Amino acid sequence: MDLEDLRRLRRARDVMDRDYAEPLDVPALARVALMSPGHFSRGFRAAYGETPYSYLMTRRVERAKALLRRGDLSVTEVCFAVGCTSLGSFSSRFTELVGEPPSAYRSRDHGAGAPIPACVAKVRTRPVRNGEAPGAAGS
């Protein structure tokens, strides 16, 4: 993969980071990267070690965790606020990445983490995929 492809993939990844709550799919992200959907999906997986969908859902779960810690929104409201359209799929993915259902996460006391700076909390609470070491997800 050449540097130009990596730059284009990074542009699409930046869109996922920024616009995670928007309805994003592989064809739309491939257009951002100026690639065909198949080339984009293969290149993204090769560059970042996961599919575009998996990366996007991790971003959504990260944001959902922050919203659930606040406690002022229901799990359903959080699901839709982060761009998911299916409560069942959202809950399954959340449970897979976090290790507990969103309702259990929401009801837990998160006060002990209040004094931790947001930048540190984001790294320490990042959802872990498939036995990956915490904080090893790359840039």
Mean pLDDT over 108-133 rounds to 64
Question: How far apart, in whole angstroms, are the C-alpha atoms of residue 105 and residue 126?
Answer: 14
| Domain range annotation of the chain | 3-49, 57-124
- Give every CB contact of residue 41 below 8 A, 6+ residues apart in sequence: 26, 30, 51, 52
Question: What does the pLDDT look like over 55-98, one tens digit per residue?
Answer: 999 999 999 999 999 889 999 999 999 999 999 999 999 999 99
CATH class of the structural domain 57-124: mainly alpha
Burial class of residue 20, CB neighbours in 10 A (0-12, 13-18, 19+) = buried
pTM above 0.85, yes or no: no
